[in-house]
Amino acid sequence: MPSKLKSPQDLEKLQQMLSKNLDAGKSRISVCNGTACRPYGSNPVAEAFKAELEKRGVGNQLELKVTGCHGFCERGPVAIVEPGNLFYQKIKVEDVPEIVEKTLKGETVGRLLFKAAETGKEVAGQNEVPFYRNQTRIVLGNNVRIDPTSIEDYIAIGGYSALSKALHTMQPDQIIDVIKQSGLRGRGGGGFPTGLKWETCRKAHGDIKYVIVNADEGDPGAYANEGLLSGNPHSVLEGLIIGAFAIGAHQGYVYVRNEYPLALKNINIAMQQAEKLGLLGKDILGSGFDFSVRINRGGGAFVCGESTALMASLEGKTGEPRAKYIHTVEKGLWDRPSDLNNVETWANIPLIISKGPEWFNSIGSKGNTGTKIFSLTGKVNNTGLVEVPMGIKLRDIIFDIGGGIRGNKKFKAVQTGGPSGGCLPEKLLDLAVDFDELTKAGSMMGSGGMIVMDEDNCMVDVARYFLTFLEEESCGKCVPCREGVKRMKQILTDITEGKGRESDLDLLKELSAHLKDSALCALGSSAPNPVLTTIKYFLDEYEAHIKQKKCPAGVCKSLIKFSIIKEKCPGCGMCVKVCPAHAITDMGKKKPVILDQSKCIKCRTCYDVCRMGAVKIE
């Protein structure tokens, strides 16, 4: 560990020394060991690389970097080899010796390269892979270059130089002006202009002020903040320190979801390293500015992503929101002016300070500058973390980057914005993805969840799912949310069980209007969005459930029936073996099996295992 940095010159010297090592002409293998690659076994792969390099004693020719999330989670475990920017996918422990061997010889392991869907040809460079080619990875891009547990790595690529610039060459007001000029808007969902928020907080009365990182990414299906915080924690920390200096805060908080153990671990390590180097604590880089940070773990309550609830939780109280007649920038944590921003917002700050607001303005669209990270998941071919300039079309994300729908199924909807967002249909695929357009369409940006659904997903079931989620997560403080969400969920459950009435849709709309007007916080007031957008864009599905008592997508258990298509069934018995209810009887070879409806529990196992497509859902 280098010694404490006491001036901008100290940092510069260290940076020069570390970046020299970086350019020493060594080959490098960056293995992703982010949270999403772990279910695929990236941990053993990373260990195997370590062991292989040690065994061969080639540490001076080949450097191994175990990094955070590379983004292309679908193909994990993934790695990038330099020189050549080679992208290897689905790496197994057995592949490791060959990769090392060939990398040392300057050769490529062809079978591990990405193959283009259209041509079937191998694509060598990461930048050529369609998933990456169409992205603008200004925030996430550094993940592949650094070991997130090494502050040296971050400094080597220019880390903390924005902090040094801000502390020594800029006045707080100047920093705020730069952020305002950049047009940066809060990445947590609301899209409030960050510079304006900082300015209000700076001008608010009071000597003690706080800055807070909201890393309580509770939206189910969104993990962009996780990928960023675990993959590049110093970038968030650097942004936070700059913000604290601009606002005049000396204490900061990072509120992290407890369900993200890796992010928690890495931000803790980052904080300790920054303290040791004098980038946190007293007299940061000899500027006279003091700032310290505390890390708080969440307790698994979705509502704590809401600013006032989060602050209550930081005070050691239950995470209940309050009405915001007085904004948190005036009276927030401990009733003092507090600025809360999302992980991604903070990570953008060092970039804007280093490269200037004009550069940031050149990315994205007017009023929606910069990039946005999305968690592209669900029924697309290429799932993963995607960073794109704002204003890009939904279609470009889902089809160019995401590679279209899995298994040649038909696209049905894309859900953005989590439980507060909505489901958008095919006719809106050319919608520009920015804060304003998504809101106009009845959805929202949220923290960047983008869940793609195909013809096998039932939109009524999706609406019921979100309301079930929100009912569980409602804190219960205000009546509209506590009771309204519950009733809406009951109505939706009835519809999915074939007990819906034609008047239900009007009732849902009426309840939605009340909830929007009267709920205390955004959890309640935006709860109707999934219901209203599905009614607006997928009315035919609601009508099929209510009038014909049918679920066209074959999802709602009470409305479907499994049966065997005799002509297609070769009697292989696969389904017989897996059926947990023993509802299928083997009738001998080459004779179709028989399914007993009275025993069937509609678990779908037979449908999943049948390769002949002989199980029908009606």
Partner 1 sequence: MKDSISKIVKKYGNDKSQLVSILQDIQTEYNYLPRSALDKLSKKMDIPQSHIYSMATFFRAFSLKERGKHIVNVCLGTACHVRGGELILDSLERQLDIKRGNTTKDRNFTLETVNCMGCCATGPVVKIDEEYFGHMTNDKVEPMIKKYSE
The residues of the shown chain that bind partner 1, judged by CB under 8 A, are 35-36, 38-40, 73-74, 76, 217-223, 226-227, 258-260, 263, 296-302, 313-319, 375, 377-379, 383-384, 415, 418, 449, 451, 453, 457, 462, 465-466, 469, 472-473, 475, 578, 580, 603-605, 608-609
Nearest CB to partner 1, comparing residues 436 and 494: 494
Nearest CB to partner 1, comparing residues 384 and 442: 384
Cβ 263 to partner 1, closest distance in Å? 8
**All residues at 6 or more sequence positions from 353 whose CB lies less than 8 Å from its CB, including other chains:** 162, 163, 165, 166, 170, 175, 178, 242
Using DSSP's 3-state secondary structure scheme, residue 6 falls into: coil
Nearest CB to partner 1, comparing residues 44 and 97: 44
Cβ 331 to partner 1, closest distance in Å? 17
How far is it, in rounded angstroms, from Cα 74 to Cα 114? 12
Cβ 294 to partner 1, closest distance in Å? 8
Cβ 451 to partner 1, closest distance in Å? 5
Least Cα distance to 16 among 31, 5, 27 occurs for 5
In this structure, is the dihedral angle defined by the CA atoms of residues 146, 148, 150 and 152, taken in order, positive or negative? positive
Q: Contact at 8 Å (CB) between 167 and 287?
A: yes
Nearest CB to partner 1, comparing residues 484 and 554: 554
Cβ 466 to partner 1, closest distance in Å? 8
Cβ 226 to partner 1, closest distance in Å? 4
Nearest CB to partner 1, comparing residues 337 and 446: 446
Nearest CB to partner 1, comparing residues 156 and 532: 532
Cβ 467 to partner 1, closest distance in Å? 13
The tokens 């180097």 sit on which residue?
277
In this structure, is the dihedral angle defined by the CA atoms of residues 606, 607, 610 and 615, taken in order, positive or negative? positive
Element (H, E) at 529: helix 529-537
What 3 state SS string does 87-119 have? EECCCCHHHHHHHHHHHHHCCCCHHHEEECCCC
Edge-first strand order for the sheet with 27-32 is: 62-67, 27-32, 79-82, 86-88
Cβ 39 to partner 1, closest distance in Å? 3
How far is it, in rounded angstroms, from Cα 426 to Cα 429? 5
The DSSP annotation for 127-183 comes to GGSHHHHT---TTTGGGGG--TT-HHHHHHTTTTHHHHHHHHH--HHHHHHHHHHHT
Q: Contact at 8 Å (CB) between 41 and 91?
A: no
How far is it, in rounded angstroms, from Cα 64 to Cα 146? 10
Nearest CB to partner 1, comparing residues 319 and 389: 319
Nearest CB to partner 1, comparing residues 57 and 316: 316
Q: Contact at 8 Å (CB) between 466 and 422?
A: no
Cβ 298 to partner 1, closest distance in Å? 7
